[in-house]
Amino acid sequence: MSVIAFVPARGGSKSIPEKNIQSFCGKPLIYWNLHELQRSDVDKIVVATDSERIKSVVESFNFPKVMVYDRDPENSQDTSSTESVMLEYIDYSNLLDSDVFILVQVTSPFTQAIHFNEGLELFKSHDSILSCCVSRRFIWREDGKALNYDIYNRPRRQDHKGHLIENGAFYISSVAKIIEKETRISGNIGLYEMPEYTSVEIDEVEDWIVAESLMKRLVLDQRDRDFSDIKILLSDVDGVLTDAGMYYTEDGDEFKKFCTYDGMGMQLLQNYGIKVGILTSEDKQLNRRRAQKLKLDFDFHGATDKLQIVKDLCKSEHITLNEVAYIGDDVNCFELLSNVGVAACPSNAMQKIKSIPNIIQLSKKGGQGVVRELVELILL
C-alpha cells in the first residue's frame, strides 16, 4: 500500500492569472503544499498540470517525492471537475485499490506536514477524511430565520461552539472508493479539524492579501523562530496536555485524557538533549503518575508561583529564563509566559494569554497534540 498525494494545478485562472505559481510570501503558491508534503509521511506527490510553466517551476524545487503528470486538456477546462482528473490519473497509473489517495488543493497554503500526518492517522478508522475548521459565524436563512443560534439568547462569539465547515485543504480516500463512487470522499467520513484561519481559500485577489498576512503571522514567523538556546521545555497540564475537561465516574473517581503524541514529543526532545517537565498548580496523583510514565526530568505540582519555581530551577540548572520554553493556556501562566525565552499557547488559550507579545499561538487545542506541535517547531 502506498500513500499518494495528488495536487491539481491547472494553468488557467480567471481571477488571478497563473495563480498557482504567483509569488506568495516569497515563493510560488504551489511551493508551500509541496514543501510540507515532502516533509510528511506520503510516499509520492503528483502534480497534475496542463501548463509547461507550472511544470518547469515545480521541477525547479527538486523535491525527491514530486513528479509531474501531464493532464489531459479535456480535463483542464474551466468546467472540468477535480474528480475527472483524479480518475484520469488513477486510470493512467494503475494504482492498487488499497492505495491511499490524498487530494491536496493549492489554494489552501496553510497546511503543514503534521496536519497531513494526523489526517492519515485518522483515516485508519474511516473510509474517507475531510479537512475542516470551526466557523463561529452566525448563519441566517433568506427568510430571516437564524440557523445556528437563539436570537433571544445571543452567545458571545468566543463562547459560540460554531459549526464545522470544509476548508478545502485536503481530502483522503482509498483508490477503490474513488473508483467506486467517482467522488473524492464517501462512506464513513472522518473530520480532521484545523485552525479557524485555514478557512481562507485563495480564489480572489482580496483572499490573497488576507492569506499572505495570516501565513506570515501564524505560520512563517513561528517557523523562523530561533530555538537553539532552549535547554528546558516545561508544560502546564490542564488545558495543554489535557483538553481541560474534568471527568468523573458515578463513584466520584476523577480522570483526564492525555494525548500520546505529546508524550512522544517530550521523548524526542530528551533524545535531542533538551530536558522536559510539567508545571501545574494542581496537586493530583494522576498528574504524578503521568509524569512518572513519561519519565520526565522535572515535575512540579501544587505550584502557586510558577515564575519563582522556574527561576529556582534555572539557578540549579545554571541556565537563564531565556533558555526555557513554556506552554500554558490560562491566567495563572501569564507571568511565567511573559518572562521565558519561548512562550507558546494552544489555539483555545485565554485571550489574555494570546495577547502576550511574541507568544507562539499554536494551531492545536489543548489535549490534541499541541505540545508535540511545539516540539516539531523546535526540532525543525
| Residues that are catalytic | 154
| Contacts of range 304-310, beta carbons closer than 8 Å, 24 or more positions apart | 306/279, 306/281, 306/332, 306/333, 306/335, 306/336, 307/335, 307/336, 307/339, 309/279, 310/234, 310/279, 310/336, 310/340
Cell of 307: 515564575
Q: Give me the residues paired with residue 100 across strands.
A: 3, 174
Say how far apart CA 263 and CA 201 lie, in whole Å.
33
Asked if 300 contacts 236 with a C-beta cutoff of 8 angstroms, the reply is no
Asked if 259 contacts 245 with a C-beta cutoff of 8 angstroms, the reply is no
Asked if 277 contacts 240 with a C-beta cutoff of 8 angstroms, the reply is no
C-alpha distances in Å from residue 157, one per residue of 146, 154, 265, 286, 362: 15, 9, 33, 34, 20
Those residues whose C-beta lies under 8 Å from the C-beta of residue 265, and which sit 6 or more positions away, are: 369, 371, 372, 374, 375, 376
Asked if 348 contacts 368 with a C-beta cutoff of 8 angstroms, the reply is no
Q: Give me the residues paired with residue 279 across strands.
A: 300
Cell of 40: 510528511
Full DSSP string of 267-280: HHHHHTT-EEEEE-
Q: Please state, as a whole number, how many other Cβ atoms lie within 10 Å of the Cβ of residue 221.
A: 12
CA 218 to chain centre: 11
